[in-house]
Copies of this chain bind each other. A is one copy, B any other.
Amino acid sequence: MSHPLKKENASTLENAMQLMIQTFHQYSGNEGDKYTLSRAELKELLTTELGNYLGNAQDKEAVDKVMNDLDSNNDGEVDFTEFVILVGALTVACNDFFLEFNEKGEKK
């Protein structure tokens, strides 16, 4: 039986979803509950996987807010749903930056 998430003809969006699942489990399995991120695992994931975006983000306040929300709501563990909410919020921030960048380019 083939793995249900390893499609040979996966679409671009299905690839994106698979990459999110793959990334989470790559870090969540290191210590403690293998299906949640400890604070240490979360920090490693953010530093390794989001260094470019968190370093470059124009809307730093939005990123800080997401991080604070994530901290106050969890009990030291971040589950997959919380991780997806974080990635989603960052992706929306990146998209806003992308649109602003494009608009500036069009005006020149």
Contacts and interface: CB of A to CB of B under 8 A. Distances in A.
A98 B80 CA distance: 12
Contacts of A87: 13, 16-17, 88
Interface string A29-71: 0000001000000000100111111001000000000000000
Interface residues of A, number: 44
Interface in A4-20: 4-5, 7, 9-17, 19-20
B92 A81 contact: yes
Given A4-B97, A16-B87, A87-B88, 12 more contacts: A11-B48, A11-B52, A12-B23, A12-B49, A13-B20, A13-B50, A16-B17, A16-B23, A17-B87, A21-B91, A21-B98, A84-B92
Interface of A: 3-5, 7, 9-17, 19-24, 26, 35, 45, 48-53, 56, 80-81, 84-85, 87-88, 90-92, 94-95, 97-99, 101
